[in-house]
Amino acid sequence: MKLKEVKFIMEKRILGKTDFQVSVVGFGGIPAQRLNEEQVLELLTEAYDQGMNFIDTARGYMASEELIGYALEKLGRDKFYLATKSMDKTYKGIIEEFNQSLSFLGTSYIDLYQFHNIKTFKEYDQIMSDYGAYKAVKELKEQGKIKEIGITSHSKEVLDMAIDTGLFNTIQYPYNAVETQGEELFKKAKANNIGVIVMKPLAGGAIGKGEIAIRYILDNPNVSVVIPGMDSISQVLQNARAGIDRRAMTEVEKERLAKEASTLGAEFCRRCGYCLPCPQEIDIPSNFLMEGYYTRYNLQDWAKERYGAMSPKASDCIECGICETKCPYDLPIRKMLKDVVEVFN
């Protein structure tokens, strides 16, 4: 697929201590796993044409790396800064994961390699131990296979400590109109010249006003790049517009976004997918999504029809609780699935 000459001017920001001049809106790679090769190629072609030059994926995102690798082979590896990550915490394990990433992505190097979803200080200590993952990643960097090292977490405390070490050039953390607890963390990162990558900009799809939600995030000068997941051309265009048309939010837009955010509270699914797979094969995030359509977006008939077609669904939960041990937000998933059943029964 032939690339057009980039005609849109998207704002760029320097990613911390790196020399990467990244588009303020990047391509989040989680939803790519639901698509095929040609669809991902089409999305990344449009993303580039809209001025995006940063891709974030992960070894744990199923087929995402392989699909993105196919697209990069067609478009040219040099068109994007490429970030991926691994949840492995051991020296040997992360080298194996890294080599898999290189193979799937069809590249000889990774621009930004991140330790993925470090939940606790114990996990952090594990990657920093004598036989831990950091030693391996540092060696790969010395070999030129990795340009920069970053860390992602849903724990503000872990990232606060990681900033103090000076060992990471980027952090990745959730931030949106509902979850603003990272603002002081971002300020500290900027003061230490550490790049800030924002995940969950739409609170896992719970916030429907995409362009406004991203503009809200980009109004924070401490944010380097926001990485909304995208699985359609319309999403690419909407998300890119937030980085191209950098006008200030109006009071009306702020009120609309605040009103939507206020309906969510703290107990809502961000659709990160870490709870999966469910032993009963329930698509847990999709059940919560249908409930949201029913209760928040006045789509009762549409949501009820689609929930009814799910098999298995929330009513098939046996309350084993495995999902709750994997949720980075410590959500009471079993209770929330019961609430879904109540809504649709």
In the chain the first and final C-alpha atoms are separated, in Å, by 48
In this structure, is residue 270 part of a structural domain?
no
The answer on 212 and 69 residing in a single domain is yes
Are both 255 and 308 inside the same structural domain? no
pLDDT at position 208 is 67
Mean pLDDT, residues 49-73 taken together: 94
Higher-scoring residue by pLDDT: 57, 202? 57
Which pLDDT score is estimated for 6? 53
Structural domain containing residue 329: 284-344
Residues 313 and 251 in one domain: no
φ, ψ of residue 222 to 5 degrees: the values are: -85, -10
Position 247 scores a pLDDT of 84
Pick from 150, 199, 117, 121: which is nearest to 15 by CA?
150
Same domain, 148 and 225: yes
pTM value is 0.81
Residues 221 and 296 in one domain: no
Number of domains making up the chain: 2
In this predicted model, what pLDDT tens digit does every residue of 231-290 receive, in sequence order? 899 999 999 999 998 888 888 888 888 887 777 766 778 777 789 899 999 999 889 878
Q: Are residues 162 and 210 in the same domain?
A: yes
DSSP 4: P
Q: What is the pLDDT at residue 188?
A: 98
On whether residue 266 sits in a domain, the answer given is no
Q: Do 226 and 292 belong to one domain?
A: no
Residue 158 in any domain: the answer is yes
User: Percent helix, strand, coil in the chain (nearest 5)?
Assistant: 45, 15, 40
Q: CB neighbours (10 Å) of residue 11?
A: 15
Q: What is the pLDDT of residue 7?
A: 57
- Domain co-membership, 21 together with 95: yes
Distance from the Cα of residue 206 to its chain's centroid = 14
Mark whether 216 and 110 lie in a shared domain: yes
Residues 206 and 248 occupy one common structural domain: yes
Chain centroid, CA 87 distance in Å: 14
27, 97: one domain:
yes
Does 291 lie in the same domain as 248? no
